[in-house]
Structure 1
Amino acid sequence: MLTRTFGAVCAITLAACAAFSSGPASADEDGFSQGEGGSHGRPVKVMIISMFGPEGQVWLDRLGPWRDIPVDGLSPDYPAVHCNRQDVCVMTTGMGHTNAAASIMALTFSPRFDLRRTYFMVAGIAGIDPQQGTVGSAAWAKYLVDFGIQWEIDGREIPSGWNTGYLGINTKSPSEKPPLDYRTEVFQLNTQLADTAFALSRNVALADNAQAQAARAKYSYAPANRPPTVIQCDTLAGDTWWSGTLLGQRARDWTKTLTDGKGVYCTTQQEDNATYEALKRAAAVHKVDLNRVAVVRSGSDFDRPYDGQTSADNLINYAAQGGFTIALENLYRSGNPLVQDIATHWGEWRDGVPKR
C-alpha cells in the first residue's frame, strides 16, 4: 500500500528558513559555503531527497542552521534546497512519479550546485510487507522496481489458471519476464553503498509507540508482530495506492521476475524509479555519479491486512496503525549514521564508497 499521511498533514510545508544571498565559492563568517562554487556551483557532500514536507522536516529540525537556495523548476510547494555547514542538503520533490522526476531534473541541471561527487539518499515512508518487516522498520534497498509498468486485465476477467490479472508488457503470462522496453522497470543500486549504509545503521534503536504495537499484535507471525528494526530488502514504485494479500503476492513475484530472483520486495512507494531515472539522465552528462545513490524507506503501514481484516479496511484506515510518526523518526535514525559518516569523514568518501 502506497502510503502518505492525513490530508491536513500532507499540506504541511518545509519549515521556513531565512534566505541568504549567493556569493563566491568560499566559507562566510557563519561557516557556510557560499552559494556558487566556481563554474560548477556549490559543492554538496550529501543530498537528502524527501518527497513531502514531514519527510524533510525530520532533517530540518535537527541538522541546521540552514541556508535556503532557490532552484528554478522545483515544486512550487518546495522551491528551495536547504544546505547546512557540513555541505549536507535537503530537498523535497513533491509526491508521485511526475513530481519526483521533474524536481530531480531541475536540481541536477541547475547551475547552483556541483553534484559530481554528491551522495544522494532518498529517505521516505512506505507501505511494508509484513513478512519482511513491520511498521517502523527501516529498509535499505538494492533494487528499485516499477510496479506500474505492466499490462492489467480486469480482476473479474482473469483467465483460468492465472493467479493475477497483471503481466509484463508484451508477454504472454504473469510469470514471463518482459523485454524491459521502457528501460525504467528495474534499477540496481550500488551494493557496496547499500551494505555500508546498513552496517552503519543496523544497530540503532528505532522509535516505537503503543498504537503501532497494538496494530502489530493483530498479525500472527513475525516480523510483523515484532518491534521495528533496520533491514535490507527492495522497494516497489507505482502511483496507484493499493492494499491486498493477492496484490502483495504479485509485488513479491514481480520483484523476483524483474531482478532474476535476486530482489526481495518489502516496501511500496511512488517515486523511486522516477527519481533514479532523472539521476541517470544527469549521470549521462557527468553531472552526478550513480554509484552514490542510496534508498531507505521506513514502514508507515502494512501493505496487506491481518487475518480476518479486509483489504479495504487496511487501506482506508491505515492511519490507525500508528506507524506514521515513528516511520518519519526512523528515517532520521536509520539514515543519519550514513549522512554523518560521509560528512565527517569526507576524505574517505570523496572518491567513492570506502572499502571497510
Structure 2
Amino acid sequence: MRMYQWIVTSIIVLLSSNSFAEPKSKITVKVMIVSMFGPEGEVWRSHRVLDRLTVVPGLLPADSAVHCGRDGVCQVTTGMGYANAAASISALIYSRQFDLQKTYWLIAGVAGINPARGTLGTAAWAHYLVDFGLQWELDKRDAPAAWPSGYLGINTMSPAEKPQLIYGTEVFKLNDELVNRAFSLSESVKLTDSPSAQKARAVYGYAPANAAPAVVQCDTLSSDTWFSGTHLTERADVWASELTDHHAVACTSQQEDNATFAVLMRAAGEHLVDTNRVAVLRTGSDFDRAPPGGSDASTLLNYQSAGGFEPAVMNLYLAGNTLVQEIARHWSAWRRGVPPR
C-alpha cells in the first residue's frame, strides 16, 4: 500500500512539474506562414529575416523548428499530405510555446492547376477548401455505364446527388473579407515566369492556360491522392460546385489544406486560434489535365519537366508577401481584425 501511495504521489508531482507546464513567456505571432515542404519554406526564409528558431516537439524531424522574425512573422513546414499537415499543425498549436489567438495564418503552397482557370505560375487565393477524397469510389469499369466517373457522394445513389456533409471537414469557407483584401493587395504584383513554362503552356492554345501568370481568386481541392487527367479533374470541378451549392469554382488541387484547416477549426473551439484569420494561397506548378489532343498520362508523368515549379515557388512569396507585409507593418490596425479599406 505504501509503495502504491508513493507511486501515485510521484506521478502527481511529475505532472505538476515545470516540464509539463506552459512556457512562462509565449512568442506572440502576427503572421504564421504554413509551408508543406522544403522549397516552399525556403523561399520565405531566403527573402525575409526569420532567424529566431524555436524547436517544437512533434514537427518534422528534418525541419523541427519554427522560424520567426523580429517583426512577429513566423514560418513552419508541415510535411506533405494530410497526416503530416495535421500532425505538425497540432504539434505547433498545442506546444503552447506561441500566442496564436490573434495570429493570421497564410497557408501557401504549390498545386496542380486547371488550365481553364489559370496557368503555370498563377497565384490563386481560395474562398473555399473542398475535400475531394471524402467520396465513394468504384472503378469506372465497375460503375454504371451512364455515370461519368466512378465517384459519388457517400450515401448517395448517383454522382449527381449532393451528399449530406457528415464528416464536418468536406468544405471549409474562408473569411471573404480577408481573402478579398489579400487579392486586392497582390493583384497588381508582377509574377515571375520561365522560358520552359512559357513553352509548356503554349501548346494549350487558349487562355488563361497560354497566358502569363496572374493573381486570381478561385478555389482549391484537397486530396491525399494526387489525381490528374481530364475525367478525374472534371469530376473534381463538379464536386466542388456541388458541395458548395454552386458557389465554389475550383482551380487548384493539393494534398493538405482541409487537414490543416480542420486542426485550426478544433483549436478555434478552444479559443487558441481564430479561423477568420486564415488565408490560403496556391500557385500552379503543373497542369492537372492535358492540352487538346495531348495525353493525360504524359502530362502527369512529365509534370516536372513543364517548368512550372520554380515560378510557382517564387510566386508564393511575391503574391503572399504583400499580405504578410501589410499585416506586420500595420499591426495596430490588423490586430483587431481585417481593417476597413
Q: TM-score, normalised by structure 2?
A: 0.92
Q: Tell whether the 8 Å contact from 1:242 to 1:315 is kept in structure 2 after alignment.
A: no
Which of 144, 150, 156 aligns to 1:171? It is 156
* 1:28 paired residue number: none
Which of 93, 103, 121 aligns to 1:118? It is 103
Matched, 1:183 2:168: yes
**SS at 1:184's partner residue?**
coil
* 1:253 paired residue number: 238
| Inter-partner Cα distance in structure 2 for 1:70 and 1:149 | 34
Identical amino acids, percent of aligned pairs: 58
Deviation at 1:92, TM superposition (A): 0.2
| Aligned partner letter, 1:301 | D
* 1:209 paired residue number: 194
Structure whose alpha-carbon radius of gyration is higher: 2
* 1:218 paired residue number: 203
Which of 229, 236, 242 aligns to 1:244? It is 229
**SS at 2:57's partner residue?**
coil
| Aligned partner letter, 1:126 | A
**SS at 2:184's partner residue?**
helix
Q: Given the superposition, is the C-alpha separation of residues 294 and 76 from structure 1 closer, same or farther in structure 2, using an over 3 Å criterion?
A: same
**SS at 1:231's partner residue?**
strand
Q: TM-score, normalised by structure 1?
A: 0.88
* 1:297 paired residue number: 282
| Inter-partner Cα distance in structure 1 for 2:190 and 2:256 | 27
Deviation at 1:158, TM superposition (A): 2.2
* 2:15 paired residue number: none
Matched, 1:327 2:312: yes
Where does 1:326-345 land on structure 2 (aligned, <5 Å)? 326-345=311-330
Deviation at 1:65, TM superposition (A): 4.5
**SS at 1:74's partner residue?**
strand
| Inter-partner Cα distance in structure 2 for 1:110 and 1:149 | 30
| Inter-partner Cα distance in structure 1 for 2:227 and 2:50 | 38
Give deviations 1:158-199, integer Å, cap 9, x for gaps: 202211110011111111111111111000000100000000
| Inter-partner Cα distance in structure 1 for 2:132 and 2:24 | 40
Deviation at 1:38, TM superposition (A): 7.3
Q: Tell whether the 8 Å contact from 2:29 to 2:73 is kept in structure 1 after alignment.
A: yes
- RMSD after superposition: 1.3
**SS at 1:193's partner residue?**
helix
Q: Which runs of 4+ in 1 moved over 3 A?
A: 37-40
Q: Tell whether the 8 Å contact from 1:136 to 1:228 is kept in structure 2 after alignment.
A: yes
Structure 1's unaligned 5+ residue stretches are: 1-36
* 2:73 paired residue number: 88
Count residues in correspondence: 321
Q: Tell whether the 8 Å contact from 1:77 to 1:94 is kept in structure 2 after alignment.
A: no
Higher-helix-fraction structure: 2
